Amino acid sequence: MNIPRSSFPRVVIIGGGFAGIALAKKLRNKSVQVVLLDKHNYHNFQPLMYQVATGGLEPDSIAYPIRKVLQESNDFYFRLADVKEIDTKNNKVIADIGELRYDYLVLATGSKTNFFGNKEMERNCMAMKTIPQSLNIRSLILENFEQALLTNDIEERHSLMNFVLVGGGPTGVELAGALAEMKKAVLPKDYPDLDVRKMEINLIQSGDRILNTMSENASKKAEEFLIKLGVSVWKNVRVMGYDGRIITTNSDLTFDSATVIWTAGVQGALVNGLSAESLIARADRIKVNEFNQVVGYKNIFAIGDIAYMVSEDFPQGHPMMAQPAIQHGRQLAANIINLVAKKPLSPFVYKDKGSMATIGRNKAVVDLPHYKFSGVFAWFVWMFVHLLSLIGFKNKAVVFLNWVYNYIRFDREARLIIRPYKKKHQVNFTTDEI
Amino acid sequence: MNIPRSSFPRVVIIGGGFAGIALAKKLRNKSVQVVLLDKHNYHNFQPLMYQVATGGLEPDSIAYPIRKVLQESNDFYFRLADVKEIDTKNNKVIADIGELRYDYLVLATGSKTNFFGNKEMERNCMAMKTIPQSLNIRSLILENFEQALLTNDIEERHSLMNFVLVGGGPTGVELAGALAEMKKAVLPKDYPDLDVRKMEINLIQSGDRILNTMSENASKKAEEFLIKLGVSVWKNVRVMGYDGRIITTNSDLTFDSATVIWTAGVQGALVNGLSAESLIARADRIKVNEFNQVVGYKNIFAIGDIAYMVSEDFPQGHPMMAQPAIQHGRQLAANIINLVAKKPLSPFVYKDKGSMATIGRNKAVVDLPHYKFSGVFAWFVWMFVHLLSLIGFKNKAVVFLNWVYNYIRFDREARLIIRPYKKKHQVNFTTDEI
């Protein structure tokens, strides 16, 4: 990997998500050389991905070129690379495009969909962790409706119009709400020759409440909102299998559905060479100390979703969300600068800014540390916070414009099948991200 | 194909391009049943595709869902279908999704890239007739730059940074200009560790002037603009072969390039059953009379690029562009209504509204029937006309916002490799549109 030598120590960051970008930005023009590696040349704003999957936003407005984020950084290098292994003995990263020596290594590889070992689910469900996956879902929803028009088989039509979301976390809830709004305002106009009332949206949650990382009140409100929108919420139901058509559960309940979207869990995206059992906590996260140092290493760090940092308040690590990732990244930047300057490190302290989820127009739930609320005001707060968090003025403006338009017109215009999903994947759907 | 019977005669339109959409809109809520078939569920605005290929616009803002264009049309049906054959004896369309009887059939299938039988070129060149193809070009340009960073082989790096456009029509000229602007304002900032000055843009034209369907003055001005932007314009050069690396020509001239974009010609997109030699004119267009009736048929019509209508002013048919397509569509709507009402048909008369091409910021050429001009004013006229022609308020607004942003910031933000091109196509590039 053609990276010039520098008089500064080299920090190699793997991953340009919230954590990696926050770190790289804070290390800009400091006494280190920074090399950022990512499989994609863009950073994506995961919290709005469900809107891409449901035609509310175009993918380009939630993605941002990494090179542009870090333009005008001295001694900074980005490489489009798929990291294969870490050679911790020789301090080397081994990637598809070659090898690279590091002085400091930061894993910011994030997380991937966790199917908890269920290969059948993995094969047949849709996942939504990448932009191509979100576009696949968008294509599939629309292809299903086109196909529903063609069949005279009532059961097949029902299956094509039955959408099942497994997992009642924020992603599942937000997707369910967005699908319900499509059902209400968009699809009946597009498919006048189809009885869209027959479309079903089922949200399946294994626990006894949805949004179980939020307050009880948020869970209750969110469920009310979903039910008002026509979503069937199934609690205490565990999905056991899905053959591409029938979902079986731990009870007598079954669902006949052509489209199952799996949002039930994520796991750390491990890298070979740093996956020894002693390093790994639950959900494939890597154990780090309060300085984000991977246990047993002085010069290897993990930040964001992949990092498992235990504290009194967070006995199971920080939530796998944008906020801890960003805060990890920023804190680690300060610590790396300290390390280079031979100063003592400062421990990480998580500042909980709260969490929120949107269910539909005028319907959101917000848990702030000292104040919890829901409804129209929560919805505006949700929009405001997400708009401000997007990188880049133009993306903010385009998303704002889309939201205003969608709000006024009750519409979602990006219902385009640009790359058909079914034709390519025939009977068995795969979860490949290409 | 589940289309209900109607008391009105059935008009089947194949293709939702400029011609098909213009026709369908004018037939809305008239005494006919309309069935529109297209391979895609969106209409795309081809004149701006080169901006998608060069990261200036996101694909969703030049595409528009066909179902939305024709919402609230009575007795109107859209089907996502790939037409395989026309059975003219039994008045039936045979598609991948089934068969359909027609009373009137309209071919609005448009055109596809014409490689003039050169299979090697077809295999190794990029085409730009569909949105997926434009996105492939966008990915390839960026992947080339990422790869150029990795190699120490000077010739390979040169090849990766050498872009060749074959064909000096509007598409080739507009692409060349857009690439030149990327070279000037965007790529040096993104790739500070690469000598972007070494990027080459070569435009090859077989004839003795570019834009040869426009005025001599427009050709001259466009060439001046391109040269000012650093594009090498090669006239009277005919490309003979391209093995994926070296382009050979009819002279000693060769080019070593990893990216050859073929914009040298289009040909009608024929359908089996209506491709008898007696029906076909040059470039695979179908001969029609002044009422757009396909020769030998009373109830089959062709409009837009695929239609070859000869008149005194147009001895070789109308130009294969948006304007004639839209005008064909509108006129045929009137004629079909006449036909149903047993009234006489009116012959088509083309109203030439002029033509234009843009080369770069503040640089365009415009030929109006009685007035020809170029430069800043032409550029504003070009933008204004294209903005107004886009379907949908939101697309207009998003494109406008992008243009203002790109103009002020000298930027093109959509430089995202969402679906990598090279990895999937390895050594031999294909022109498949998926």
B394, A416: Cβ pair inside 8 Å? no
Query: CA gyration radius for chain A?
Result: 22
Chain A positions touching B152 (Cβ under 8 A) are: 2
pLDDT, tens only, B259-271: 999 999 999 999 9
Selecting from B71, B401, B416 the residue whose C-beta is nearest the C-beta of A189 gives: B71
Chain B positions touching A194 (Cβ under 8 A) are: none
Q: Which of A412, A409, A429, A413 is nearest to A421 (CA)?
A: A429
Q: How many CB atoms lie within 10 A of CB B245?
A: 15
Q: Which of A272, A328, A393, A339 is nearest to A24 (CA)?
A: A328
CB-based burial label for B262 (10 Å; 0-12, 13-18, 19+): buried
Please check the confidence at residue B430 and state whether its pLDDT lies above 60.
no
Tokens 């300060």: give the residue. Answer: A334
A1, B397: Cβ pair inside 8 Å? no
Closest chain B C-alpha to A388 CA, distance in angstroms: 18
Q: In percent, how much of chain B has pLDDT > 70?
A: 97
Selecting from A41, A131, A416 the residue whose C-beta is nearest the C-beta of B41 gives: A416
Within 8 A by CB and 6+ apart from B27, the residues are: B11, B34, B333, B336, B337
The string over A399-434, giving b where at least 16 C-beta atoms fall within 10 Å of a residue's C-beta and e elsewhere, is: bebbbebbeeeebbbbbbbbbbbbeeeeeebebebe
A59, B420: Cβ pair inside 8 Å? no
Tokens 């730059």: give the residue. Answer: B145
**Contact present, A246 and A254 (Cβ < 8 Å):** yes
CA A95 to chain CA mean position, Å = 24
State the helix-helix crossing angle for B393-409 and B376-389, rounded to 10 degrees.
150
Distance CA B12, CA B107 (A): 9
Can B174 be counted among the known catalytic residues?
Answer: yes
Chain B positions touching A64 (Cβ under 8 A) are: 413
Within 8 A by CB and 6+ apart from B156, the residues are: none
Distance CA A85, CA B402 (A): 40
B405, A419: Cβ pair inside 8 Å? no
Q: Which of A126, A198, A123 is nearest to A155 (CA)?
A: A198
Closest chain A C-alpha to B307 CA, distance in angstroms: 27
pLDDT, tens only, B150-204: 999 999 999 999 999 999 999 999 999 999 999 999 999 999 999 999 999 999 9
Please check the confidence at residue B359 and state whether its pLDDT lies above 90.
yes
**What are the tokens at B18?**
């400029």
**Phi/psi at A406 (nearest 5 deg)?**
-60, -35
Q: Which of A248, A263, A91 is nearest to A166 (CA)?
A: A263
Strands (E), A50-128: 63-65, 76-80, 83-87, 92-95, 98-101, 104-107, 111-113
**Contact present, B39 and B62 (Cβ < 8 Å):** no
Among B68, B151, B189, B394, most A C-beta atoms within 10 A, so best to mutate, is B394
**Contact present, B229 and B173 (Cβ < 8 Å):** no
Tokens 């003795």: give the residue. Answer: B208
Q: Which of B58, B72, B174, B277 is catalytic?
A: B174
Distance CA B323, CA B303 (A): 11
**Contact present, A357 and A211 (Cβ < 8 Å):** yes
Q: Which chain A residue has its CA at the smallest distance from B67's CA?
A: A190
Selecting from A59, A80, A149 the residue whose C-beta is nearest the C-beta of B418 gives: A59
Residue A422: predicted pLDDT:
81
Distance CA A409, CA A187 (A): 14
**What are the tokens at B286?**
């179908």
pLDDT, tens only, B294-332: 999 999 999 999 999 999 999 999 999 999 999 999 999
Q: Which of A93, A114, A115 is nearest to A102 (CA)?
A: A93
What does the CA dihedral B225, B167, B259, B138 come to, rounded to 10 degrees?
Answer: 70
Chain A positions touching B5 (Cβ under 8 A) are: none
Distance CA B335, CA B327 (A): 12
Strand partners, A33: A10
Query: CA gyration radius for chain B?
Result: 22
Residue B423: predicted pLDDT:
64
Chain B positions touching A420 (Cβ under 8 A) are: 434
B77, A401: Cβ pair inside 8 Å? no
Enumerate residue ranges in chain A where pLDDT < 70. 423-434
B405, A393: Cβ pair inside 8 Å? yes
Chain A positions touching B189 (Cβ under 8 A) are: 68, 71-72
Selecting from A58, A77, A150 the residue whose C-beta is nearest the C-beta of B58 gives: A58
Selecting from B79, B394, B416 the residue whose C-beta is nearest the C-beta of A413 gives: B394
Residue B2: predicted pLDDT:
85
A416, B67: Cβ pair inside 8 Å? no
Secondary structure element (H or E) that encloses residue B256, with its range = strand B254-256
Residue A424: predicted pLDDT:
58
Q: How far is CA A301 from CA A13, A293, A313, B203, in A?
A: 9, 4, 21, 49
Angle made by CA atoms A159, A187, B16, in degrees to the nearest 5: 105
Please check the confidence at residue B48 and state whether its pLDDT lies above 70.
yes
Distance CA B212, CA B209 (A): 6
Closest chain A C-alpha to B257 CA, distance in angstroms: 21
Please check the confidence at residue B250 and state whether its pLDDT lies above 80.
yes
Q: Which domains does chain B have, with CATH numbers?
A: 10-39+81-113+266-340 (3.50.50.60), 119-264+361-423 (3.50.50.100)
CA B353 to chain CA mean position, Å = 19
The residue count for chain A: 434
The three-class DSSP label of residue A159 is: helix
- Residue B341: how many CA atoms within 13 Å on its side-chain side? 11
Q: Which chain A residue has its CA at the smallest distance from B143's CA?
A: A80
Angle made by CA atoms A89, A93, A95, in degrees to the nearest 5: 140
**Contact present, A338 and A33 (Cβ < 8 Å):** no
Among B39, B51, B398, most A C-beta atoms within 10 A, so best to mutate, is B398
A419, B398: Cβ pair inside 8 Å? no
A413, B402: Cβ pair inside 8 Å? no
Q: Which of A174, A181, A200, A223 is catalytic?
A: A174
